[in-house]
Amino acid sequence: MIIYAKSTGLNNASIGKLETPIKMIIEHESDLLTKKGGICSWLFNIEKSSRFGETIIGQNEFDIFSSCVEGAGAEADSTQETYRKFIEHIQFMKEFVITAEMMEDAAFGVAQDAKRRAQSFTRAYYKTMNRICEHVLSNGYVAKSYFAKTNLDLTTADGLPLFSSQHTYGNALGTQSNYFYGDIFSHGALEERKSSTDVFEEALSALSVTLRNMKDENGEVLGYTADTLILPGNRPVAEAIAKKVCGSEGSLNSNFNDINLHYGNWNIIILPSWQAAEDRVMIMSSEANKNLSGNMFFNRVPLTVTNWVDNHTGNYIWNGRCRFGVGFGTYKHILMAVDSENSVPGATKLA
């Protein structure tokens, strides 16, 4: 969505030749990019906001129903707040200029340079959204991260980074990890080792069970099924292994016509801007992400475009402004694993 506002007092006749076409180009580009989607729409819950920021409040669940003898009253039950996470909205701005000469030379339509600028301006807005969403996920093992002149809060409600081995639940009822290290892809050349696809298949199964066994605020197993596999954009061997394991109908490296338990169960998403120093992988449950308010994107002010003429230069100026908040309401929907046989700070060894 783009809000377009025309400034008053525009007297230059040449402006009319560009104003409507540029507006149409910006809006058309927005429609195309919205339909295509992106990292933000694929991995985050996008919600509108009308406040300074948004607070996500967690509660424990009702216990199971109790059996009652005939004529007896129902057992009273209640819920209580167990955590809260505040996500503050951030302002982003950008502008571009169409020179007076360019306006004058656009007598027969929008000048090609002006058209490219308008299209690039809209793409920059969506690129900002997606790039920040990529950044907060790929750097989720730290508490704070500096990006686009903004100090982003990457913690969840328990005050720990999104990926941590010491996450708490149920008002410190217990701890659980969603950050692991171990032999995930097995790139070694030793003959006695299993093939890379076999190792990844087993590791993916172990990680899926770990995510399924995440506990809620009552200490009960949540039982969500992981269905989203997220990979860095600069690890081609790991990417190839993951695609083989998830895209093959039969079990790899088997002469017994075994079925592949992972076939058809995963959506693979590559984060182009995630340039990891070693092989890493995230798995996520899209259902848990939605139900538990996991990855959150709050749209406070959509791209708002205004334009005016600079009286000193005669140039036509377009300004874009937006506000949104990005953060995590919980950690129970996602986990990360690092392909390393050595200890990774803040991570748990994968069993």
Task: Name the maximum alpha-carbon separation found in the chain.
Answer: 88
pLDDT number for residue 193: 47
Name residues whose C-beta falls within 8 Å of residue 322's C-beta, 6 or more positions apart in sequence: 91, 92, 93, 125, 128, 301, 302, 303, 304
Among residues 206, 198, 186, 168, which one has the least CA distance to residue 283?
206
pLDDT tens-digit profile of 22-65?
777 777 777 777 767 789 999 999 999 988 888 887 766 666 67
Among residues 227, 223, 224, which one has the least CA distance to residue 204?
227
Query: Mapping DSSP to helix (H, G, I), strand (E, B) and coil, where does residue 31 land?
Result: helix
Residue type, position 185, single letter? F
pLDDT tens-digit profile of 250-272?
666 665 557 777 778 899 999 99
Query: Mapping DSSP to helix (H, G, I), strand (E, B) and coil, where does residue 121 land?
Result: helix
Among residues 284, 206, 196, 278, which one has the least CA distance to residue 242?
196
How far is it, in rounded angstroms, from Cα 204 to Cα 198?
Answer: 10
Asked if 163 and 136 touch (Cβ cutoff 8 Å), the reply is: no
Asked if 51 and 139 touch (Cβ cutoff 8 Å), the reply is: no
Query: Mapping DSSP to helix (H, G, I), strand (E, B) and coil, where does residue 216 land?
Result: coil
List, in order of start, the domains of the chain with CATH numbers: 11-55+91-349 (3.90.1690)
Name residues whose C-beta falls within 8 Å of residue 12's C-beta, 6 or more positions apart in sequence: 103, 309, 314
Radius of gyration for the chain, computed over Cα atoms and rounded to the nearest angstrom:
25
> Taking the model in full, what pTM does it have?
0.81
φ/ψ bin of 55: left (φ > 0), alpha (ψ from -120 to 50), beta (otherwise): beta
- Digit-by-digit pLDDT tens for the chain (351 residues) are 666 566 544 445 555 556 677 777 777 777 777 767 789 999 999 999 988 888 887 766 666 677 777 777 777 665 566 678 888 899 988 888 878 777 666 555 555 666 777 788 888 888 889 999 999 999 999 999 888 778 899 999 999 999 999 999 887 788 999 999 998 987 554 444 456 888 888 899 999 999 999 999 888 999 999 999 999 999 999 999 899 888 877 666 665 557 777 778 899 999 999 999 999 999 999 999 999 999 999 999 888 888 788 888 888 888 888 899 999 999 999 999 999 888 898 899 998
Map tokens 């990292």 to a residue. Answer: 39
